[in-house]
Structure 1
């Protein structure tokens, strides 16, 4: 094989790789609703349980939505959190702030417009964040997914 043949094979392979990457690109994230949809999809894919989303628009400046969910074990809570942070980074190019991943009891992921809490069930029951953020509102404000 001649050197020119090898070079053209490398160029063809690189072009094919670029073409494949473009075809599998992540969906465009333009709004907080798009980000919420990505987060809910990631949580569902990773078997998070009891997923609840709370609309925070007009209530606080910390974000547009809060999502609360559970994992069955510390290992699952950590895995759900890491995969979610990676999915957000892949889709937006932004690194999410994350707290609590080391212990895996309660992980907070701040993705910007959406704040996500991943709990072990016992810890979630103890803190009852849903009740705190809903206050006196009726239960219809909690939108289970």
Structure 2
């Protein structure tokens, strides 16, 4: 599967269990560690864990095994590493506090400014 198919499968798996506010960020210009970051919110620890497990299972069925999963014990923020795609499933308060979208967008803006000035 290519990166776009993997990302679409992740989003589908999150939508299956009512993941909210799903955002996909292209991180390829910023890091060589992964190409996409998918962030979603969940209403409870149970839903956070269920979303992460659903992504894990759906991608495994498609031949994309995970390389690690962190945060299942607390369930406030679960990170799933799929190699080229990293998935963050967070409860709203945690997501608002860490604000990954703004952090990575700011990094992209800084990179664009450096490239524009040469």
Measured against the shorter chain, the TM-score band is 0.7 to 0.9
Alignment length (residue pairs): 108
Q: Do the aligned residues in 2 keep the contact of 1:51 with 1:69 (CA within 8 Å)?
A: yes
Structure 1 segments unaligned to the other structure (5+ residues):
1-29, 138-145
How do 1:87-106 and structure 2 match up within 5 A?
A: 87-106=58-77
Aligned to 1:45: 16
C-alpha RMSD of the superposition: 1.2
2:91 equivalent to 1:120: yes
Aligned to 2:102: 131
Larger Rg: 1
TM superposition score normalised by structure 2: 0.86
Q: What is the alpha-carbon distance in structure 2 between the residues aligned to residue 64 and residue 88 of structure 1?
A: 16
Cα deviation digits, residues 76-107 of structure 1 (max 9, x gap): 00010011111111111523410001110000
Aligned to 2:114: none
Q: 1:60 to 1:93 in 2, by over 3 A?
A: closer
Structure 2 segments unaligned to the other structure (5+ residues):
110-118
Aligned to 2:29: 58
Structure 1 runs of 4+ aligned residues shifted over 3 Å read none
Q: What is the alpha-carbon distance in structure 2 between the residues aligned to residue 93 and residue 33 of structure 1?
A: 13
